Structure 1
Amino acid sequence: MKGWTAGERKAVRGARIRISLITAGFITLVVMAVGLVSDAVMRHAQDEQVWRDVRFGAALGDPVHPPVCTWLFVPGFRPLANAPDGFPLGTDLETTRRSGEAVERTVRRNHTVYLVRTQVRRDGQVVQAVFDMRYQLADRTHLWYALGVAELLGLLASVATGVVLGRVSVAPLAEALIRQRRFVADASHELRTPVTQAFTRVQMLSNQAAAAGLPAGHREGLARLTGSLGQLGDILDDLLLSACLTGGPSRPAECRPVDLAALARSVAEETEPVTVTAPPGPLWVNGVETALRRSVGELLSNAVRHAPGARVEVALVRQRGMVELTVSDSGPGFAPDEGERLFERFHSNGEGGRYGLGLALLREVVTHHGGTVTADGQPGKGARFTIRLPECEFSAM
């Protein structure tokens, strides 16, 4: 897993565990199905065979030398010394004497099962045959013991299978994601330079057009082109930032204490009209200043863009070891159940409003810094976005 992020390692391990569980479940179901079928077949075969033996013994068996596991109770003959307690069944004997019909029943006693048949023989004697099924029951128990061992071996095999399948099927997927991330990062980085050069040249042409007194239509076209190139540059920055965040935690050299209050005031000065309230003194968080600046700027620009002319306020507070930055506006707001979906990439609210990558990348940045971001709103009552980041100790020298 060299070169993988912690999230990718976790995802691969989770996939392997799921594969192992699915394989184990499948093997368990197969073994259980085989066990149930085998048990049913064995029970049926044993019952058929035993009842044939019992009927044969009751009709023709010798009371002195009965078949194996069988005792015959016949008037005038003394039962064998090892005959089980509780036999013969007097009620069945009396019923058969009166009706002449054979009576069969299953009796559970003495920690075993007995098959009992009472009938009238051709010579007029009423005979009761009792068969002890303890050996057949032991065979059934041994069958389930064997199936239990097979189940255990199957579970061990499923774990091994899960590991093998995880390496064979899941690992290439993770490698493909890594290659995709690298491609996005490389492509964004390579495209950023020519886009920046084109943006600079168009700005120069726009300024020269104004100075040269070109027609308003030409100047307007150059202005639109400048804006489009600027948006393209922002998109490339977003893609590059996303690839870098997905690629794993920032290097220690990139992270340093950042005064979130000062950063918010600096960003607010570039976005009018915005007011900032914060407690006295700095509010230190550990992170990448450029990424945090872009995140706060995204919240402010999002508020101004979706609530033009509305009042936008930024409030910072300390709370339980966290620094909270809240951006609220008095604009049109949004439905309460829309809050979580705003952070989805290219989310549309169904009313023509699209949020692109900005808020999705904002959440990635905040999560990357060990924090959280939430959105709350009510239709017609404005919106409120709250970033929570762990506070850190820092003493400026």
Structure 2
Amino acid sequence: MRWAWRAPKGSPDDRLLRRTALRMGLQSALVVAVAVVLLCGVAVLVVLRDQHAQEANLMVTTIARADDVDDPPDGMWLVLQRGSQRAVSRGVPPGLPESGDLSATAADGLTRDRDVHLDRAEYAVRTQKRGDAVVQAIMDLRAAHAERDRLVEALVATGLVGLVIAGVAGVWLGRRAVTPLAEALAMQRRFVADAGHELRTPLTLLSTRAQLLRRRARSVDPATLESDVDDLVADTAQLTDILEDLLLAADPRQEVPRQPVDLVALVRQAVTAAEPAAAERGVRLVVDSEPVTVSGYEAGLRRAVIALLDNGIRHARSTLRIVVEPAGKQARVDFADDGPGIDPAIMPTMFRRFASGAQELSPGQRRRYGLGLSLVSDIATRHGGSVSASNGEDGGAILRLLLPRGER
């Protein structure tokens, strides 16, 4: 039996799922509403055109066959005028016939059509010359208008029912469509949380053993060994902070804890930790800095700086220069290497997850980018900053991290 994931009721995932499904339902209803309005408009226009054509044909036929005014079709009246003599059907509405049209048509022989509004009623009036007489047909349009109103009411009622059905179906289908995505996101969060939980214990043991080793080293006074062990303890503490930051990033309910961070000190600590790796590759690390404080979470910022240092060391030929300085309301950290630069084809995607290119360590080869830079982009976004890449004027790549400044 297949296991079906369900978000706990009231949880952030459940609220997100409900909001997404509701949004999809509303969008479906909106699409149906637009379609219904268009179809109703087309249907009404077609009906009105047909009614108008039928009315015109009936009036033309009635005028052509009129020998007198005594037996017009239902809902119609006739006026027959020869010279000064005029005959009018019984019951013609008050205010009619249109004497002006009769006189004008008798004079110039032109056919005239008009709609006349009298006492909340509308009448179609056609005046036409036939032989030596002028005939005027008057048609009551109230029946046609009533039919049109019934049609519009039926279309509106049908459209409202369709909107309700479309909205409910959209919510249901939206929830079914979003559930697999929510399941995948939940599994990802559980994986990160479980990894952080499982790694916390061995890291604690590692830190404890390193502290015991430091005590033993002090008892025999080996200065060099003690310094190395101190660095080991500091690295394990930083690794624990990084795991805490991973757990924080995995929980959508948590906001980034903001606090003033000395960016220069953080960068110099990261550079000190990266110097052994840089020395192995023959890369010299140079730091130019001005005092600047940013607002953010130190562990997350350290992750970003370490990732950018690692990227620069891997692609530099001999020197990686790190520049830290204020830039208006932001702090700027540039990582400029003297490597082969960035392939323009890779530039638009290099901060996406799993986007990569070939690594270029010598002329003729290309750079390589993996998951690290996408994590830097995530961290920068969480802190309200950004990360970008460009090629320097003298060659090499420049990765720039911008972060909002803070005050101590």
TM-score in terms of structure 2 length: 0.66
Long gaps (5+) in structure 2: 1-8, 204-240, 279-283, 359-364
Letter paired with 1:248:
P
Show the counterpart of 1:327: 335
Identity over the aligned pairs, expressed in percent?
Answer: 22
8 A contact 2:342–2:397 mirrored in 1: yes
Is 1:72 equivalent to 2:82 in the alignment? Answer: no
Is 1:304 equivalent to 2:313 in the alignment? Answer: yes
> SS of 2:86's equivalent?
coil
Distance 1:161 1:125, change over 3 A: same
- Selected match of 1:257 from 257, 260, 268: 260
Letter paired with 1:185:
V
**In the TM superposition, what whole-angstrom CA distance separates every residue of 1:243-278 from its partner, at most 9, and x where no partner exists?**
7524326567x6543321101011112334211122
Show the counterpart of 2:271: 268
8 A contact 2:332–2:402 mirrored in 1: yes
CA distance in 2 between counterparts of 1:137 and 1:69 reads 13
- Selected match of 1:129 from 131, 136, 139: 136
**In the TM superposition, what whole-angstrom CA distance separates every residue of 1:216-246 from its partner, at most 9, and x where no partner exists?**
xxxxxxxxxxxxxxxxxxxxx9999767524
- Selected match of 1:362 from 366, 376, 379: 376
Letter paired with 1:384:
I
**In the TM superposition, what whole-angstrom CA distance separates every residue of 1:99-139 from its partner, at most 9, and x where no partner exists?**
xxxx9x6624556774636465xxx7645232346436744
Show the counterpart of 2:35: 29
- Selected match of 1:40 from 38, 46, 70: 46
8 A contact 1:375–1:385 mirrored in 2: yes
Is 1:116 equivalent to 2:138 in the alignment? Answer: no
8 A contact 2:377–2:386 mirrored in 1: yes
CA distance in 2 between counterparts of 1:382 and 1:92 reads 94
Distance 1:156 1:23, change over 3 A: closer
TM-score in terms of structure 1 length: 0.67
> SS of 1:360's equivalent?
helix
Letter paired with 1:274:
L
Show the counterpart of 1:278: 289
User: 1:330: how far off?
Assistant: 2.5
Long gaps (5+) in structure 1: 96-102, 197-236
CA distance in 1 between counterparts of 2:32 and 2:407 reads 53
8 A contact 1:12–1:171 mirrored in 2: no
CA distance in 2 between counterparts of 1:323 and 1:262 reads 13
Show the counterpart of 1:247: 251
8 A contact 1:24–1:158 mirrored in 2: no
Query: How many equivalent pairs are there?
Result: 338
**More off after superposition, 41-50 vs 318-327:** 41-50
> SS of 1:172's equivalent?
helix
8 A contact 1:315–1:327 mirrored in 2: yes
Distance 1:159 1:318, change over 3 A: farther
- Selected match of 1:52 from 37, 53, 58: 58
User: 1:315: how far off?
Assistant: 1.4
Letter paired with 1:116:
R
> SS of 2:171's equivalent?
helix
Measured on the aligned residues, the alpha-carbon RMSD in Å equals 4.3
CA distance in 2 between counterparts of 1:174 and 1:275 reads 45
